Amino acid sequence: MSVEMLSEIRFPARAKRLSEVRALVKKKAKEMGCCSELTDKLVIAVNEACMNVIQHAYKDDESGEVLLQIISDDGKIHFRIEDYANPIDLDSVEPRDLDDLRPGGLGTHFINEIMDECDRGYLEGKNGNYLEMTKKIS
């Protein structure tokens, strides 16, 4: 198989835009043959990652922009999320202890549980951040 760009979407860093992102992830996962359970998990992981960008990288500044790329590669689906916010402290991106019962803060836990691989870093020149998530589907 070869690498194929399944979809690319740029959207404002606004939580209300995530419904469109969820619909796109669901559609592309189904097109790649993911079962309903895996599709739902992928939707959760991508939604959580994008929400983290909106809340933590952009700090709810709605003038920011997010890029989502969905890529197929040899039985794997890749999600690359880029933002153009100030560089985040990569060491601070850790899941909260599950015993710490309170609303929010479990996004990175869900992402790590759902995805096979995650890589985060800075865009060239530290002009933003990226998160790459990969899930083997066949």
Number of domains present in the structure of the chain: 1
For 59-97, letters b (16+ CB in 10 Å) and e give eeeeebebbbbbbbeeebbbbbbbbebeebeeeebeeee
What is the pTM for the complete model shown? 0.89
Domain that holds residue 100: 4-136
Per-residue model confidence (pLDDT) at position 135: 98
Q: The dihedral of CA 119, 123, 126, 130: what is its sign?
A: negative
For residues 41 and 35, give the distance between their C-alpha atoms in angstroms, rounded to a whole number.
10
- Residue 61: which CATH number? 3.30.565.10
Question: In the prediction, which pLDDT does 2 show?
Answer: 84
Q: Tens digit of pLDDT for each residue in 40-94?
A: 999 999 999 999 999 989 998 999 999 999 999 999 999 999 999 999 876 665 6
For the chain, the straight-line distance linking the first and the last C-alpha, in angstroms and rounded, comes to 12
Residues 90-131 have pLDDT tens digits of 666 565 555 555 445 567 888 999 999 999 999 998 899 999
